[in-house]
Amino acid sequence: MPGYPVLPEGIAYGGDYNPEQWPEEVWHDDVRLMREAGVNLVSLGIFNWSLLEPAEGVYDFGRLDRIIDLLDASGVKVDLATPTSSPPVWFRKAHPDSRLVDREGHVIAGGSRHSFCPSSPHYATAAGRIAERIASRYASHPAVVMWHVHNEYGWANAQCYCETSAEAFRDWLRERHGDVGALNTAWGTTFWGLTYGSFEEVEPPRVAPVGQLTGLQLDFARFCVDAHIANFRRERDVIRRFSDLPVTTNFMIPNCRPMDYWRWAGEVDVVSNDHYLDAARADGHIELALAADLTRSVAGGRPWMLMEHSTGAVNWQPRNLAKRPGEMRRNSLAHVARGSDSVLFFQWRASRYGAEKFHSAMLPHAGTGSELWNDVVALGAELGKLGRVRGSRVEADVALVWDWESYWALELEWRPTADLDFRERVEAFYEALWREHVTVDFVHPSADISGYKLVVAPSSYLLTEASAKNLHRYAEAGGHLVVSYFSGIVDENDTIHSGPYPGVLREVLGLSVEEFHPLRENETVALGDHGLTGRIWSERVRLAGAHAVQDFTEGPDAGHPAVTCHELGAGAAWYIATALDPSRDGDDGSTAPDPSRDEDTAPDPSRDEDTALDSSRGSDVIPDPSHDGDAVSDPAGDGDAALDPSRDGEAASDPARDGDVAEGRDSHGLPGAIHDGGVAGGRELRGVLRAILDRAGVSRPRGLPDTLEFVRRGDHVFLINHGHEPVTVRGVSGTGVFDDAEYPGPVTVPPGGVTVVERAGGA
């Protein structure tokens, strides 16, 4: 693989740089300020095509030459882009048949980026040509350290339904199915008499009057991913003729549903990702952590690059909230904690015109006199001290199954309930584990999972027989498997596996499901006698080897199993037949961004006053002092309880929790922590998972509040406090990376603060 990391040392810091929007005299200011902020890498030329090739075959590289030379002279390295996400106006005019067509048949207008058909041969030729010009010209330039092909494949033109696409789709189908009979079988076209006589008769899944062949829809989704990958490969291979520097393209994990990034993973030399917080969510930092863990997993555990995020507000959400004080820092360091070797933003200097003029930037409209600028400079200085983290890895004992094909299939029309939602279930399990301070990897269900202590399949509706066997082998070999409802139902063509549900998972789970009983909107059902509450789903489980851990006590399946366990030698397979919520400590809302300016100063009361007026924001909720009190005290009383014993050789005794576990197994055979409704946060999914984590031997920090994000990356421990109260973490010793302080014992992380400790001696 071409050389990575891309910089001689340290964490890459910077962002998209669009100097073409500014007169050249501004560029000198830019590079001076970049140096001040510690910027060492910029992504250049992403939207430059019309300037580099103002007319077909006519080139002008003067401006790009000058800016690259200027950056080089200033010591700022360049991630050089091919500008192919935004073809010039002349291209669109010259090739009307390359225009993007939506599912309804509308020809999508220009005046924007991404407005082209991914299967257009004219686009392929033009994009390959400009990529070749750029690669040949700059391959040996000393400032260029990596290549940034295109920008966010599939963001706005994931699918095109024009005739060119239709033709390419037919070719793709011929390749996949061989003959039309095989296609008919795969798609089940005898249903409604939709049999195809030849591939020529197949149309893309344009708007249909009523439910459409789901096999057709899934194959079209796969074809579209491959069309974008083909475009990427063309440019990457052109670049490789001139350069052996790493080639990437920026992904949008997990927020670009049409792109199956498992398919993309092997194509890039380094995985890079763009991530933007959803400002509507008070717990956006948990979704950020999920995105970062999934990105690391797509990268196969190798370090990856955060190619874009924002210093503050974006401009494209319904309400674009500026980041709260300290939030940009927490976000940035959370990405690094979870495996990123870069902190890059969209964009360096805020635009004065165009669609994104209200988007935040490293250098905002308010200029260098702003708090934001001070924060950007301070972050650059801190990242300068984090260089030794580069290249190190995050190890996880727990894996969550994530499959884009299952995501697509689950959300096709006419499912048992509209409340089935892939993201909702994955996020519920992820959140429960995050709040238990468990770092997870994500895996495709066919991946090698033998190294994990626990594997959770939160939403595996589409599961091939081979993948199901993989899960079965894992549990039989001593692994611990958790499966949530409506999993293992269909194969890759959306055909139901034969026999009772859950088809290919019946054997490993030791049960079958006779009937689905989806619940009414907002209806809940109780289960067990410890306050567990299910939403969305209930079903009639028939045991066939498994035993019931909790029964439904309400609803259509009252008296029948809701949580089950199938013992398989040393391993076990659990099943959860309803939607349990993750639950948070004390439900106090304390995960909202903290109001304090920084870790050294007291909270600014004026800010609190502001937010206190707005009762719609989760951040207003006053934290529950009782749970924070727990957090700062050492529950074990031994001064070193917080860390994972298996890694530190320290006993992680937490009487509150271990006491529950010590109750022994409940009447149905699950360790007793499932009963721990008495411990804050112990109810619902967290309580169930906590018991399974213990059974699987997954060690993790104990006694910490669930607002404290705890991640270990190589020799570094990242402690990110998303709460309003200081948190003392015991058992972490070493050197504070930012303050150079020695921490022989407990580390106190201020509200909203981040402490990174490099363990002494690299232990």
Residue numbers at the binding site for ligand GLA (CB under 6 A): 151-152, 274, 276, 308, 314, 346, 356, 359
What is the three-class DSSP state of 354? coil
Sheet containing 454-457, strands listed edge to edge, beginning at the edge strand earlier in sequence: 440-443, 398-401, 454-457, 480-484, 571-576, 561-568, 547-551
Q: Report in angstroms how near the CB of residue 136 gets to ligand GLA at its nearest.
A: 25
Distance CA 552, CA 529 (A): 9
Of the residues 308, 327, 709, 725, only one is catalytic, namely 308
Please say which residue, 308 or 539, places its beta carbon nearer to ligand GLA: 308
Please say which residue, 43 or 460, places its beta carbon nearer to ligand GLA: 43
Q: Report in angstroms how near the CB of residue 251 gets to ligand GLA at its nearest.
A: 10
**Within 13 Å, how many C-alpha atoms sit on residue 15's CB side?**
24
Q: Report in angstroms how near the CB of residue 81 gets to ligand GLA at its nearest.
A: 10
For this structure, is 308 an active site residue? yes
Distances (CA, A) of 101 to 97, 122, 158, 169, 640: 10, 16, 11, 14, 61
What is the three-class DSSP state of 297? helix
Please say which residue, 27 or 276, places its beta carbon nearer to ligand GLA: 276
Please say which residue, 67 or 400, places its beta carbon nearer to ligand GLA: 67
**CB-based burial label for 581 (10 Å; 0-12, 13-18, 19+):** middle
Please say which residue, 157 or 459, places its beta carbon nearer to ligand GLA: 157
Residues 6+ apart with CB under 8 A from 504: 463, 464, 465, 468, 469, 488, 497
At 250, phi and psi to the nearest 5?
Answer: -80, 120
For this structure, is 436 an active site residue? no
Distance CA 461, CA 483 (A): 10
Angle at which helices 284-298 and 422-435 pack, to 10 degrees?
100
Please say which residue, 314 or 641, places its beta carbon nearer to ligand GLA: 314
Angle at which helices 284-298 and 327-337 pack, to 10 degrees?
30
Q: Report in angstroms how near the CB of residue 592 gets to ligand GLA at its nearest.
A: 22
State the virtual CA torsion across 523, 526, 532, 533 in degrees, nearest 10: 0
Cβ contact 292:338 at 8 Å: yes
113 C-beta neighbours (distance < 10 Å), count: 19
Quick one: tokens of 296?
């690391």
Question: E strand or H helix at 468, and its extent?
Answer: helix 465-476
Question: E strand or H helix at 754, and its extent?
Answer: strand 754-758
Please say which residue, 308 or 706, places its beta carbon nearer to ligand GLA: 308
Q: Which residues pair with 219 in a beta bridge?
A: none
User: Tokens 């400790």 — which residue?
Assistant: 757
Query: Which amino acid, residue 298?
Result: V
Please say which residue, 85 or 583, places its beta carbon nearer to ligand GLA: 85
In the chain, the N- to C-terminal Cα span, in Å, equals: 30
Angle at which helices 24-37 and 371-384 pack, to 10 degrees?
60
Q: Report in angstroms how near the CB of residue 118 gets to ligand GLA at its nearest.
A: 17
- Which sequence positions are flagged as catalytic? 152, 308
